[in-house]
């Protein structure tokens, strides 16, 4: 087994994920009259509004950690190799004999990170300006539109992320639970990253050296 | 219950700015007075506020011939047929009544202020202490009881009248013809027609705080009529797409030589 994430990364990820899901649900409860019952479960839409606004604070903090922690690895598209990957969609959409080898984050993951890193702060800022309407009314109105643009983007990306992080890429989910992934997974998904770590001697390995054939979780 | 559409007609040319309507509104709706400030005008308070749902605006106007005129305009909710506030209200607190007016169920209001931003007339006001908005509901309960709104009842000059929509429109047009000149009917030509009509003696653009051609703002239409359905379509499309991807293309499985074959990938 190979260590893919440290505990702090996983905590930030889940704080963000859970706050984001709560924000989705409460936001939907306000966006659609047919989903007002989500508010009823919280003791009314007014409570739902408070849950939404305060959860946004948690989301905002997790966003600060997430961006400062991951932008170097996941926020920079490296031009020749990442473009090659994008051209063949990393082999995800049609058969590609040898998709370009990706590093720790493939360009698809980078795009997801960039979407969150842009839309996340957009949601916090527009949300605050909807709460505290300090701008001229003509501008405040567009904050609602931008908030909805951010929502459309994040909501769609959310499902892509959930699919690709679970059943779409078996073996990936452990990276966000225990933090340990198999060597076979790493070789398939992020060969360049694996090689780099082996080369630099930064690979953190657990279990496999003693019982190479067991393949269990020790 | 389906009643006929009603319209309140405000004939600004008959208004003497006695502000009886302003007081009657406060009394009937039990809105407190608040400390105000003098800004060099009889207009008091300076603007609509959560406890002032209707306000006589005093405006000094010099027309193109150099004649001085004092324009009085009773400001307040216009009760749009196509109301931006109802469109953005998340809880259904703002709703269309059986009279075509826009009512407010204040216990449903969550104080989100969406309507404050959306209203092209900037009518709804936020009451911070109660965390909810207020606005004129054209005395919905009085209308239901077959009575006139408090403001109309109080008006001594006949500047305020209320009745069936078609009749009030006819009366407004008749009055405009009598007045001639720049006089015009304001309210029937936009947002599906308002349920408060003005007879104005001057062109609409002359008046303070009165939009020339109000509409449901574009930002609100993009938000509610485009992005809102798109959010579900996009997410739904992704879900269906993911499922099909799983069935057609299949997941990306780990290198199944697995940990056992580490030698070929490793050192």
Identify the band that residue A208 occupies on the pLDDT scale cut at 50, 70 and 90: low
Give the model's pLDDT for residue A182.
93
**Residue A166: closest C-alpha in chain B:** B251
Residue B51 DSSP code: T
Residue B259's nearest CA partner among A171, A79, A89 is A171
Contact B249 A93 (CB under 8 A): yes
Contact B227 A149 (CB under 8 A): yes
Identify the band that residue A96 occupies on the pLDDT scale cut at 50, 70 and 90: confident
The Cα–Cα gap between B135 and B125 comes to 7
Contacts of A158 in chain B (CB under 8 A): 235
Domain membership flag for residue A217: no
Contact A189 B131 (CB under 8 A): no
For residue B1, is pLDDT > 80?
A: no
Q: CB under 8 Å to A86, separation ≥6 — which residues? A: A107
Ranges A14-23, A182-191, B110-119, B122-131: which has the least confidence: A182-191
pLDDT (mean) for A161-169: 95
Cα distance from B198 to chain A (closest Cα, Å)?
A: 24
Domain membership flag for residue A83: yes
Domain membership flag for residue A167: yes
The Cα–Cα gap between A85 and A189 comes to 12
Contact A208 B258 (CB under 8 A): no
Give the model's pLDDT for residue A78.
86
Give the model's pLDDT for residue A94.
86
For residue B262, is pLDDT > 50?
A: no
The Cα–Cα gap between B95 and A213 comes to 68
Contact A49 B112 (CB under 8 A): yes
pLDDT (mean) for A37-48: 96
Asked whether B78 and B101 are in contact (CB, 8 A), the reply is no
Q: What does the pLDDT look like over A66-76, one tens digit per residue?
A: 999 999 999 99
Domain membership flag for residue A30: yes
Q: What is the pTM of this model?
A: 0.91
A-contacting residues in B 87-126 (Cβ below 8 Å): 88, 90-92, 108, 110-114, 116-118, 122
The Cα–Cα gap between A201 and A195 comes to 10
The encoded tokens of residue B167 equal 């009749």
Cα distance from A29 to chain B (closest Cα, Å)?
A: 8
Residue B124's nearest CA partner among B102, B92, B108 is B102
Decide which of B204 and A100 is more confident: B204
| Average pLDDT over chain B, rounded to an integer | 93
The shortest CB-CB distance from A184 to any of B108, B118, B255 is to B255
Give the model's pLDDT for residue A98.
84
| Average pLDDT over chain A, rounded to an integer | 92
Give the model's pLDDT for residue B256.
65
Sort strands B196-200 and B94-96 into parallel, antiparallel or unpaired.
unpaired
CATH number, domain of A55, equals 1.20.950.20
Q: At what angle do helices A107-131 and A45-74 cross, to 10 degrees?
A: 140
Residue B49's nearest CA partner among B135, B107, B121 is B135
For residue B98, is pLDDT > 60?
A: yes
Domain membership flag for residue A57: yes
Domain membership flag for residue A182: no
pLDDT (mean) for A146-159: 97
Identify the band that residue A79 occupies on the pLDDT scale cut at 50, 70 and 90: confident
Percent of chain B with pLDDT over 90: 92
Total number of domains constituting chain A: 1
Provide the residue range defining the domain that includes A45: 7-173
How close are the terminal C-alpha atoms of chain B, in Å?
A: 82
Q: What does the pLDDT look like over B130-186, one tens digit per residue?
A: 999 999 999 999 999 999 999 999 999 999 999 999 999 999 999 999 999 999 999
Contacts of B91 in chain A (CB under 8 A): 30, 36, 39, 45
Angle CA A126–A128–A132, to nearest 5: 120
For residue B263, is pLDDT > 70?
A: no
Domain membership flag for residue A210: no
User: Is B230 in the A-facing interface, judged by CB distances under 8 Å?
Assistant: yes
The encoded tokens of residue B217 equal 């703002």
The Cα–Cα gap between B109 and A30 comes to 12
Domain membership flag for residue A42: yes
Contacts of A36 in chain B (CB under 8 A): 90-92
Percent of chain A with pLDDT over 90: 78
Cα distance from A54 to chain B (closest Cα, Å)?
A: 14
Distance of CA A184 to the CA centre of its chain: 23
Give the model's pLDDT for residue A91.
86
């Amino acid at each position: 087994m190979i260590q893919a994430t440290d505990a702090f990364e996983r905590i930030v990820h889940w704080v963000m994920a859970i706050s984001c899901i709560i924000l989705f649900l409460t936001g939907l409860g306000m966006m659609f009259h047919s989903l007002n019952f989500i508010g009823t479960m919280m003791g009314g839409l007014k409570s739902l509004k408070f849950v939404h606004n305060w959860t946004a604070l948690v989301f905002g903090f997790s966003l600060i950690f997430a961006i400062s922690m991951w932008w170097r690895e996941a926020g920079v598209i490296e031009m020749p190799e990442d473009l090659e990957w994008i051209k063949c969609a990393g082999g995800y959409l049609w058969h590609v004999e040898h998709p370009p080898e990706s590093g720790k984050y493939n360009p698809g993951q980078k795009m997801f990170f960039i979407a969150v890193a842009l839309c996340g702060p957009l949601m916090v800022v527009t949300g605050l300006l909807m709460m505290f309407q300090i701008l001229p009314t003509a501008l405040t109105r567009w904050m609602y539109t931008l908030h909805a643009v951010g929502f459309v983007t994040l909501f769609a990306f959310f499902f892509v992320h959930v699919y690709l992080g679970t059943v779409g890429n078996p073996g990936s989910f452990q990276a966000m639970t225990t933090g340990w992934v198999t060597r076979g997974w790493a070789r398939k998904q992020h060969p360049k990253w694996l090689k780099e770590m082996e080369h630099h001697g930064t690979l953190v390995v657990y279990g496999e050296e003693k019982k190479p054939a067991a393949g269990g979780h020790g | 219950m389906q009643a006929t559409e009603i319209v309140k007609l405000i004939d600004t040319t008959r208004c003497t700015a006695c502000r009886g309507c302003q007081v009657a509104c406060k009394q009937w709706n039990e809105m407190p007075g608040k400390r105000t400030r003098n800004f060099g005008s009889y207009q008091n308070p300076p603007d609509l506020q959560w406890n002032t749902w209707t306000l006589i605006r005093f405006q000094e106007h010099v027309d193109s011939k150099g004649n001085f005129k004092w324009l009085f305009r009773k400001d307040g909710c216009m009760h749009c047929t196509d109301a931006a506030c109802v469109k953005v209200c998340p809880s259904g607190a703002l709703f269309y009544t059986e009279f075509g007016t826009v009512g407010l169920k204040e216990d449903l209001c969550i104080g989100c202020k969406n309507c404050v931003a959306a209203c092209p007339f900037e009518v709804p006001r936020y009451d911070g202490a109660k965390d909810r908005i207020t606005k004129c509901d054209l005395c919905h309960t009085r209308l239901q009881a077959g009575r006139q709104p408090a403001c109309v009842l109080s008006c001594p000059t006949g500047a305020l009248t209320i009745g069936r929509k078609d009749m009030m429109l006819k009366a407004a047009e008749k009055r405009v013809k009598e007045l001639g000149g720049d006089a015009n009917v304001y309210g029937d030509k936009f947002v599906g027609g308002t349920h408060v009509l003005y007879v104005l003696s001057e062109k609409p653009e002359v008046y303070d705080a009165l939009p020339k051609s109000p509409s449901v703002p574009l930002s609100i239409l993009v938000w509610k009529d485009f992005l809102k359905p798109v959010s579900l379509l996009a997410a739904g499309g992704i879900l269906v797409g993911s499922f099909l991807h799983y069935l057609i293309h299949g997941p990306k499985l780990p290198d199944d030589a697995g940990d056992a074959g580490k030698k070929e990938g490793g050192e």
